[in-house]
Chain A
């Protein structure tokens, strides 16, 4: 009984604080810090202290009297110089003004130190352990101070990363040569460097129970459809996984048609592409640790647009666009059409050509389908092999393998030369697709189409095409029909479809996206074809007259 102590009555403010704390703890945000330094550090040590890269640095600094403190940070994720100079040195060498009153405010010392002592640009006060731990694990430094139930979180993030380089997968002849890298902040900064609009929003959320990856939703508030932004955010919030290593992880969770062969999101590592999309009213999702950014919504045709289309003058851009659409058709249908004509309907092609085909097929031991299949298979294997092999070998394998295999197969009489031409042309055509994802879809579809052509000729091909069309017509990417602007036809959007209209004639943002602000800035015309009749030089003169 002699050890019995009477509990000191608590102050009203303290009671209130405790109640709030209990409430928060019930909501699952706790546990919270206590005022004793030792218990806090012990708790933290029990959770993350068993790893060698977590540094606990005890130190003492002198304000009015000596105070104990502990720095917690992770070696490698933090910038040592910042910690040494701006935290440790600032605290230990600080000269206190003897008349100042703030050093005597012990319970709120953390707040006072933040206000008076630390000269780090981003400091926050936190008292919930889970938040503190996440912050430490993402590279911030926690400063525990004795007698305080709040901790100072200083942004000392700094780690080794790749610089900004030219994007390897989407090269362009003309246009900015910068791509994204693996740093989220650097990526969002690159977007903001181009769009200096105050309405550019960067909303960051954390996804991944264990990886706690930062994911940023970037959009223009005055342009993007609010429902679209809300939908993207709610789909992202719903994701529950261990970790996000690449934006492809998110893609599989948020796309509209998970079983479809077609990708309903666009991925890119080009900054200009993302910026152009945001200006058109799309939403970009930037994921930490990967240079690949997701863009939504997307239409099928956009997967065949290259960023470069907008940097050339419109005649060339239109030609390139048209070439790419033709090569899309080739990459999907050419082998199947050849099989259909050669097997079922030789009478439909010109006589001389039919004779030529029949002549070269003389003595070939396989049916046309098998011949085509073998060659396609060889090409696919070559392609895969050249990707896996280290740089210079890859190219060699491609050239040597392609030449030797093709030539030898023709000489040995196993494959007809025309089939070699068809397969080579198809392979080259499929390389023109700017989006890797859609090129894969075409590669997958090509094989069943060849089989159908062998079995049922042009009739089967047209039926399968209709089935494909029905399937694609049902796809929506965040509410936007996949085949628009072709169907449902939007005349205004055709300016940027088979042809690329001159930039000054692109008056409207794509109507299919139902953006808030339909009109792009800068023109008085109502429609792009109206604008075509008044090129900018003429328009300016007209404007001057109006002013008079």
Chain B
């Protein structure tokens, strides 16, 4: 009936963070972890995850200082107008950069498993159109879709992982933190996986839409921690089933995990199909939320009243970019750029803004 602005419950916020964070990255995360940390790769996944949880906490604290505004508005207050606008542009770029890579990964998955000979324009085009249709809706509608899709994805992912545990050999996880397996010098190459964690800046955009902003910090931290738990569990499963040496050479450890499951007497021959469908929804939620957030950031920045206009305007660009990511190496490099952007935003920009906000607050208190 009457349209309210604050419609998201804290449960939905947690799920939005889950849906936005868990996407294409998790499919490759275990092999990257294995490359750097060997059999104890899960420790690396867990440690980085906890580090990002800390950053998420800072981000939500910053957002709660301005419960009625998005980061586009308060960054201009804190940094001054020109720098603030520049910052918002960087943030929009950050959200935007997810979309082509998710599209590209989707195309790869579809081509290797469901439709081997489908042309790129068709797969990408359909995916981008679906995402644009979703992103042009309002946040409350999107939250509902995200809720249902990410629950399906997590449930199916968990189901497959648990079934795969029949091949789990604890010996594969040993030796624990062996020195000869840890190759920190490869960290630079594998930094591209950092973007698997970078979902929490979303909270700085959606806080004005949350029903009770004071509960947002719990929701954010819980969301980020859940992501870390999912990643760690998944990495442990993959490492335990395949062993670290094999994991390094797997390009899609998640699909391999599903293929390893013998699950007979069911109408489906291959279990990876179910996992794939669940993963389509996980990638979709990441893509559509990134799309929505990028459009929201830009429309707030340029004062466009309907973000749907920005959404449809961006579609051709996304199509062009996703088509230009021709092979694994190009999109890996793209992932690297996003990761650097992620690291800079999460550990430099947002904490810096938070400190500025605190200083400003203290000054105001003194002024009184």
A residues within 8 Å of B by Cβ?
227, 231, 344-345, 347-351, 353, 456-460, 462-463, 466-467, 469-470, 473-474, 478-479, 481, 483, 486-489
Contacts and interface: CB of A to CB of B under 8 A. Distances in A.
A460 B126 contact: yes
Contacts of B127: 463
A459 B114 contact: yes
A345 B137 contact: no
Given A466-B281, A469-B149, A474-B137, A227 B144 contact: no
Nearest to B134: A470
B133 A488 contact: no
A487 B118 contact: no
A344 B143 CA distance: 32
Nearest to A461: B277
Contacts of B110: 459
Contact of A470 (B1, B118, B145, B268): B145
A458 B114 contact: yes
Nearest to A230: B1
B270 interface: yes
A345 B145 CA distance: 27
Interface in B7-29: 9, 11-12
A348 B147 contact: no
B302 interface: no
Given A348-B269, A456-B118, A458-B277, A463 B145 contact: no
B141 A351 contact: no
A483 B269 contact: no
Contacts of B114: 344-345, 457-459
9 contacts: A345-B114, A347-B269, A350-B267, A353-B267, A456-B126, A458-B114, A470-B133, A473-B137, A473-B148
Residue in A227, A458, A478 with the greatest tally of chain B CB atoms within 10 Å: A458
Contacts of B145: 466, 469-470, 473, 487
A470 B141 contact: yes
B175 to A, nearest CB: 39
Contacts of B229: none
Interface in B252-311: 267-270, 273, 277, 280-281, 284
Contacts of B126: 456, 459-460, 463
Contact of A459 (B12, B115, B143): B115
Nearest to A349: B269
Nearest to B8: A488
Contacts of A345: 114, 273
Contacts of A462: 277, 280-281
B123 interface: yes
Nearest to A352: B269
B122 interface: yes
A421 to B, nearest CB: 14
Contacts of A348: 268-270, 273
B269 A350 contact: yes
Contact of A457 (B115, B147, B268, B280): B115
Q: Closest 3 CB pairs between A and B?
A: A473-B144, A474-B141, A487-B147
A489 B151 CA distance: 11
Contacts of A473: 137, 141-142, 144-145, 148
A325 to B, nearest CB: 15
B361 interface: no
A157 B137 CA distance: 53
Contacts of A481: 144
Contact of B144 (A353, A458, A483): A483
B130 interface: yes
A92 B1 CA distance: 58
A489 B143 CA distance: 11
Contacts of A469: 145, 148-149
Contacts of B130: 463, 466-467
Given A466-B130, A467-B130, A473-B137, 8 more contacts: A231-B1, A351-B269, A456-B115, A457-B114, A462-B280, A466-B281, A479-B1, A488-B144
Nearest to B274: A348
Contacts of A350: 267-269
A489 B9 CA distance: 10
B3 to A, nearest CB: 10
A487 B143 CA distance: 9
B318 to A, nearest CB: 16
A349 B271 CA distance: 10
Given A345-B114, A470-B134, A478 B268 contact: no
Interface string B109-151: 0100011001000110011001001100110011111011100
Contact of A347 (B142, B147, B270, B277): B270
A236 to B, nearest CB: 15
A466 B134 contact: yes
Interface in B210-260: none
A467 B1 CA distance: 24
B130 to A, nearest CB: 5
Contacts of B267: 349-350, 353
A458 B270 CA distance: 14
A459 B118 contact: yes
A467 B141 CA distance: 12
A466 B142 CA distance: 11
A166 to B, nearest CB: 37
A453 to B, nearest CB: 12
Nearest to B111: A459
A231 B273 CA distance: 47
A456 B115 CA distance: 7
B28 to A, nearest CB: 20
A231 B267 CA distance: 49
B204 to A, nearest CB: 23
A462 B114 CA distance: 11
A81 B9 CA distance: 64
B201 to A, nearest CB: 24
A487 B133 contact: no
Nearest to A482: B144
